[in-house]
Amino acid sequence: MSRKNYAQNRLQRLKEHLQHENSDLVEAVDSYSELDRIAWRIGLLPRGISYANHISWWPLVSVLGTFSAGKSSFINSWLGVDVQRSGNQAVDDRFTVLSYGPDKKVKTLPGQALDSDPRFPFYQISKDIEEVSPGDGTKIDKFLQMKVVPSEILRGKLVIDSPGFDADEQRKSTLRLTKHIVRLSDLVLVFFDARHPESGAMQDTLKHLVEEHVNSMDSEKFIYILNQIDTSAADNNLEDIVAAWRSSLAQSGLSAGKFYVYYNDKIAVPVDNREVWGAYRKKRDADHEQIMEHLEGLNTVRTYRIVGNLKLLANHIEGDAIPLLNAALKKWRMAVRITDLVLLAFLALVAVIIWWKTGFALATWKLVSLILGSVGLFAAGHYMARRVFASHFGKGLGDSDVGDLGEAFVKSTRWFRSVWLRRNPVGWGKGVRRKLDRIRNHTEQMIERLNSKNSDPSGHLAKVIEKAVEPSPVSTTTVPSTGSATKEDKKKAAGNGSGLTPISK
């Protein structure tokens, strides 16, 4: 089976799964498939790789923090299952993906279960690890594990618990994995220890992780949580600690996102001063309620994000990738042209000198040899210049949000591509632009349908439902009712669910 057919079969299986779990996203799979074909032709994606594999089709929460920041305790309390070990020391140095499972016990699966399954956010992550840390790509189980947990809260979502950050210099492979999950996540919970709110290790890590999101639409998905704040109750300095913590983050450029305080009320020890403890508890409960609201709204957020990502990809291809490729191709063509002209002038000069020295009386075979030799030297110089300048101008392109610009540039500078004709990058033209317009229009239509399902600005559906549930007046005459006037509206208002249920292995 070809890589192209393999990718299409994977997307077909995904559609079949979504048909049962989240029908709102079935149409989106077809649009991702069309974007894939465009990217393959341009060279942004290798054949067989899909944009659909670059996102998580389940709502995804990632939990970051230093050792002893209370990440695991929060997860255990939230899920109602003691699934993650907790303590003041490093208890787990691997990324743990928590997925729902129907069994009544927690099962731990190796990292290969994630690296080899395109439905999960770490699909083929071993290749990325190998790039930054040669040799580690074959040791995926050292970095990843999956736990199947019997918690209804996990149904339809994934949670990733990261290893604690407590070293001055993070391993490249760990940082690559963390960047990967931050990019894919719908919500990123960043835990700090109130006993050490200005952790240098965590700030250094966040500078690398969050810098690309601070000024983007994704900045609001970060939730910063100052945990174990109950330890400061004896000193009654909650406001001072929070102010110092937020100031420290702001100095690192981390001013976007939400900021909350928290403690686990099951293990907290109240102070004797009831007024102080009451203020701490009130603040904690209010912040806890808002954190839970963020977590409970993940399904809807993920559906919008997956659909909206189609438009973003289309815009990036047309508005970012193609202009960059055109600019690089223009420089490449100009450099090769100049080289060709210089080479032609040099060969012409050499030919004239040879002809002049022979008294303009070259034998026919010598003249033919001179011409053929000049053509051969010119061809060799021309293709060498093409390769050298292609390598030079393509080197700075690299990866982008829509794929590998360097590979797309190489594809557009192959040996048969003329440097004297101004040509678009391979796979780009008016027809492709129209296809991107159709994808964008289709995306807007899907968003409109989601809005109609999740909102009712006119209040029409609410009135229809209220009328439908009103008690019927007492009558001695029985009138048959088909219910056809309200069935469709009630069904539309109720919706058909937006959560995806991960399939445990």
Q: Which domains can be identified in the chain, with CATH numbers?
A: 55-296 (3.40.50.300)
Q: Which amino acid is at 351?
A: A
- Describe the crossing of helices 298-316 and 274-296 by its angle, rounded to 10 degrees: 50
Q: Is residue 205 exposed (0-12), middle (13-18) or buried (19+ Cβ within 10 Å)? A: buried
Nearest residue to 143 via CA among 155, 132, 158, 154 = 132
Cα-flanking dihedrals φ and ψ of residue 112, to 5°? -60, -30
Specify the pLDDT at position 423. Answer: 81
Residue 71 Cα to chain centre, angstroms: 23
Q: Are strands 187-193 and 107-110 parallel, antiparallel or unpaired?
A: unpaired
Which pLDDT score, from 0 to 100, does residue 497 have?
39
Asked if 186 and 301 touch (Cβ cutoff 8 Å), the reply is yes
Q: What is the pLDDT of residue 5?
A: 66
Residue 58, Ramachandran bin (φ over 0: left; ψ between -120 and 50: alpha; else beta)? beta
Sheet with 95-100, side-by-side order of all strands = 107-110, 144-149, 95-100, 158-161, 60-65, 187-193, 222-227, 258-261
Taking Cα atoms as reference points, which of 376, 375, 377, 385 lies closest to residue 413? 385
Q: Quote the CA–CA distance of 418 and 380 in Å, as a whole number.
A: 15
Provide φ and ψ at 428, rounded to 5°: -115, 140
240 class by beta-carbon count within 10 Å (0-12 exposed, 13-18 middle, 19+ buried): exposed
The answer for residues whose C-beta is within 8 angstroms of residue 423's C-beta and 6 or more apart is: 329, 412, 417
> Could you give the CA distance from residue 7 to residue 345 in angstroms, rounded to a whole number?
51
Task: Give the residue among 283, 304, 291, 184 at the shortest CA–CA distance from 241.
Answer: 283
Question: Please, what are the averages of pLDDT over each run of 10 residues along the chain (505 residues)?
Answer: 65 78 84 93 88 81 82 88 64 78 85 75 72 68 84 86 61 71 84 72 60 58 88 84 80 73 85 89 92 86 87 93 93 92 89 75 71 86 91 83 89 87 88 94 91 71 49 43 43 41 37
- Numbers of helices and strands, H then E, in the chain: 16, 10
pLDDT at 34: 93
Which residues are CB-contacts of 188 (< 8 A; sequence separation ≥ 6)?
61, 62, 64, 182, 221, 222, 223
Q: How far apart are CA 436 and CA 473, in angstroms?
A: 56
In this structure, the chain runs to a length of 505
Q: pLDDT value at position 495? A: 43
User: How many CB atoms lie under 10 A from the CB of residue 329?
Assistant: 23
What pLDDT shows up at residue 285? 93
The H-or-E segment that residue 99 falls in is: strand 95-100
Rounded-to-integer distance, Cα 376 and Cα 379, Å: 5
Task: Give me the pLDDT at residue 481, please.
Answer: 40
Smallest CA-to-CA distance from 154 within 229, 208, 84 is with 84
Q: Three-class SS of residue 222?
A: strand
Task: State how far the Cα of 423 lies from the Cα of 38, in Å rounded to an integer.
Answer: 17
